[in-house]
């Protein structure tokens, strides 16, 4: 059974033809068997420092590439099985900045969801996921799924389940993907233990994890079959990276409930798994309130 929301609108910025299908497939999974609209966007960026003649030449070259990318998107969407009543629109945009252009599209479209690609690199300086992605993720008010296309087949999915602010969105996303690809889903919870614990104490700790997973799946409305795995250890990052290896997909929710941290977007653990895991990664975040706080203004000034 699909976890769907009727009349959902998903915006997908596309830039790299080699990863385009992965993004469109994730957007299709979100819409599922329901009714929705898929808006595929490509932005030709023309830096403000170049001359008018150079700008015209750059736009001309960029628009040729843009047309090919958007035509390919239409063909790829047409090849996706299991889609419900989905309409497709493509938007070709020429702008001075990719981030502000995509955010403007999200606002104009009143988007419910953003699906955006990521190369898996984590910056150690001014940005986290990248200079193009960071401003979009921080500024998007709708739900966000960041996708890193990896190796593997469309079979197995691991979803990390904790008590973070975005766990329910992550479980829903994993369920939508499972239904769309007809895959196998395992919900994974981590519990801390130490070597001094008895086997009975470890069993009780694992039972806490199983109860948490059961509660989250019920609240998320997840139906159908899935496996439960409660892993224990004394090093969360190491243990979870070991656990998810071998799966084709891993879904991880943001542990951040605000954007007041310039050093991370989704949290250190989700970003570490995203950068080191070889399969396809979905970093998931729910909607956030729209506001233009003092911090937002300072962030824009610092980055701009």
Report domain extents, the chain: 1-117, 147-304
Higher pLDDT, 219 or 61: 219
Q: Using the predicted structure, report yes or no on whether residue 234 has a pLDDT greater than 50.
A: yes
Residue 267 has phi, psi (to 5 degrees) of 115, 150
Measure the N-to-C terminal CA separation of the chain; round to a whole number of Å.
46
Any idea which residue has 């190369």 for tokens?
Answer: 119
What are the start-end ranges of the H helices in 115-267? 133-139, 167-181, 199-220, 236-244
- The H or E element that residue 192 is part of is strand 184-192
pLDDT tens, position by position, 55-74: 555 555 556 666 777 777 77
**Which of 38-42, 65-69, 150-154, 253-257 is least confident?**
65-69
Share of the chain above pLDDT 90, in %: 44
Do the Cβ atoms of 243 and 209 come closer than 8 Å? Answer: no
Fold type of domain 1-117: Rossmann fold (3.40.50)
pLDDT digits (tens, 9 = 90+) for 87-109: 888 888 877 788 999 999 999 99
So what's the pLDDT on residue 126?
Answer: 74
**pLDDT at position 147:** 95
- 42 torsion bin: left (phi>0), alpha (psi -120 to 50), beta (else): beta
DSSP 8-state symbol, 146: E
- Select the more confidently predicted residue: 39 or 261: 39
pLDDT band at 184 (very low <50, low <70, confident <90, very high): very high
Residue 264 has pLDDT above 70, yes or no: yes
Out of 3.50.50.60, 3.40.50.620, 3.30.390.30, 1.10.10.60, the CATH code matching 147-304 is 3.40.50.620
Least confident range of 24-33, 80-89, 121-130, 169-178: 80-89
Q: How far apart are CA 136 and CA 120, in angstroms?
A: 16
Cβ atoms of 22 and 117 within 8 Å: the answer is yes
Query: Biggest alpha carbon distance in the chain?
Result: 75
The sheet with strand 85-95 has its strands ordered as 85-95, 35-45, 8-13, 113-117, 143-148, 280-285, 249-253, 156-160, 184-192, 227-233
Confidence band (pLDDT; 50, 70, 90) for 34? confident
Decide if 1-117 and 147-304 have a common fold.
yes
């Amino acid at each position: 059974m699909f976890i769907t929301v009727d009349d959902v609108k998903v915006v997908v910025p596309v830039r790299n033809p080699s990863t385009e299908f992965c993004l469109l497939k994730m957007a299709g999974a979100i819409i599922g068997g329901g009714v929705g609209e898929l808006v595929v966007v490509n932005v030709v960026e023309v830096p403000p420092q170049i001359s008018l003649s150079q700008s015209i030449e750059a736009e001309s070259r960029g628009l040729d590439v843009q047309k090919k990318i958007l035509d390919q998107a239409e063909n790829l969407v047409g090849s996706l099985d299991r889609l419900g009543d989905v309409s497709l629109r493509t938007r070709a945009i020429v702008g001075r900045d990719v981030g502000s252009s995509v955010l403007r599209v999200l606002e104009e479209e009143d988007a419910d969801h953003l699906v955006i690609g990521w190369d898996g690199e984590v910056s150690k300086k001014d940005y986290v996921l990248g200079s193009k992605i960071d401003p979009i993720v921080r500024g998007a008010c709708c739900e966000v799924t960041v996708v890193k296309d990896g190796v593997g087949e469309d079979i197995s999915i691991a979803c990390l389940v904790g008590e973070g602010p975005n766990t329910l969105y992550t479980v829903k996303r994993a369920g939508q993907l499972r239904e769309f690809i007809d895959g196998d889903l395992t919900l994974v919870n981590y519990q801390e233990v130490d070597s001094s614990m008895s086997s009975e104490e470890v069993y009780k700790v694992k039972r806490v994890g199983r109860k948490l997973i059961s509660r989250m799946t019920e609240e998320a409305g997840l139906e159908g079959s899935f496996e439960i795995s409660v892993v224990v250890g004394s090093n969360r990052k190491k243990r979870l990276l070991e656990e998810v290896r071998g799966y084709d997909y891993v879904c991880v929710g943001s542990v951040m409930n605000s954007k007041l941290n310039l050093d991370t977007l989704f949290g250190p653990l989700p970003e570490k798994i995203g950068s080191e895991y070889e399969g396809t990664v979905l970093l998931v975040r729910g909607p956030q309130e729209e506001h233009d706080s003092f911090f937002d203004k300072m962030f824009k000034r610092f980055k701009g």
